[in-house]
A and B are shown apart, each in its own frame.
Chain A
Amino acid sequence: MQSLTENILRQAAEGDIAAFEAIYRACSGFVFNVACRVVNSRDDADEVTQEVFLTMHRQLKNFRFQSAFKTWTYRITINTAINYAKKKSKEQNRTVEYMDNNEYQNTIQENDASDKDVVTTLLAMLTPDQRACLVLRSIEGLSYQEIAEALDININTVRSRIKRAREALMVYRKKVVAHEL
């Protein structure tokens, strides 16, 4: 994420749309990529990205410049994405209850067949919380401390989520390899 001057942030907070566009240009890459990976769908990522920037625009007036703008952006992005992913996952669980089991299996197979991105398939095996930690660390390169601050959790919780996520992925890969053989 590119750095921004305090002047641009103040202008955007006062309602200057050009200054806010500069913020968008600097952060949109990070926001969209994280959204895409955490919600694991491009269409949903569109919605999350829009929501993140609308929240930033609304909350920028309350930004006190005491914490880093980067951390603030990480926090809004990851919380919006996790909440969206959890909501979506609940909706899907409810749909599965109403769908016939065979019908659901067919849907999964169709999705798997159409999805050629390994990363998307791997991330789909994880919970939104695990996904968030792994995406921030492995894809965005944030340190454990930065992830802990963004998610407002203990650094050891970050460690444990990353460990469980990678263990789950290793088990999944083992199953895939065994199935292929």
Chain B
Amino acid sequence: MNCKDMQNMILTDYLDGEMDDKCHKQVEDHLLRCAHCREFEKTARQDVFNPLVQSEKIRPPEYMWTRIKESIEEKENKSGIPSFLEGFKENVRSLFPKLTPAYAFPAFMIAIFIMVVGNIFFMNQPLSKNPSLVDYASNGQVEYWIDFNNDEVMEYSADFGTKIEQYFL
């Protein structure tokens, strides 16, 4: 390993104590031999590592809990939904995690595509290729002509019960 590799390790695993014993010993041995890397390690520790590790922890201000509590209460009052229904709402929402506006346009385009393809396919389908439709159509035609020639049926079927119709028929 060259000095650059060593310095990369010094900046991460070595300073942070994340190295296994074998690697740690390798770096230590190198530092004993290389003055340049020794200087690098000293500078890194002093200027960059120690100030952060030794920094004081900042405590939250006293008013923080009061603010958070007020916000929680305000939100609960605003929603007006009891907590058990709120849980139900969350569960329903989690069933559809992908329903975001980003998917709306592709979904719309797919729907349009299906409609167009479906329309072209069914409109171009010849009647003869669908025997059930042919049977249905021809049966309908036969029934119509029978009814048309049957006066009784025609009379019955054409009677709309108005005076004008009775006069003409």
Taking Cβ atoms with an 8 Å cutoff, the residues of A that contact B are: 14-15, 17, 20-21, 24, 28-29, 31-33, 36-37, 42, 45-46, 49-50, 53-54, 57, 61-62, 118-119, 122, 134-135, 137-139, 143-144, 159, 162-163, 166-167, 169-170, 173
B interface secondary structure, majority: helix
A interface secondary structure, majority: helix
B48 partner residues in chain A, CB cutoff 8 A: 122, 166, 169-170, 173
B59 CB within 8 Å of chain A: yes
A139 in contact with B61 (CB, 8 Å): no
Instruction: Tell me whether A28 and B47 are in contact in the complex, defined as CB-CB below 8 angstroms, given that A61-B87, A137-B16 are known contacts.
Output: no
A24 partner residues in chain B, CB cutoff 8 A: 65, 68
A144 partner residues in chain B, CB cutoff 8 A: 16, 18
In the complex, per-residue mask of B53-88: 1 if CB is within 8 Å of any chain A CB, else 0: 101011111001101110110010000000100110
B72 partner residues in chain A, CB cutoff 8 A: 17, 20, 54, 57
Taking Cβ atoms with an 8 Å cutoff, the residues of B that contact A are: 8, 11-13, 15-16, 18, 43-44, 47-49, 51-53, 55, 57-61, 64-65, 67-69, 71-72, 75, 83, 86-87, 90, 94
Instruction: Tell me whether A139 and B60 are in contact in the complex, defined as CB-CB below 8 angstroms, given that A159-B12, A173-B48 are known contacts.
Output: no
Q: Give 14 pairs: A residue, B residue, CB < 8 Å, sorted on A.
A: A29-B60, A32-B58, A54-B71, A61-B90, A119-B55, A139-B52, A139-B57, A166-B11, A166-B44, A166-B49, A167-B11, A170-B43, A170-B44, A173-B47
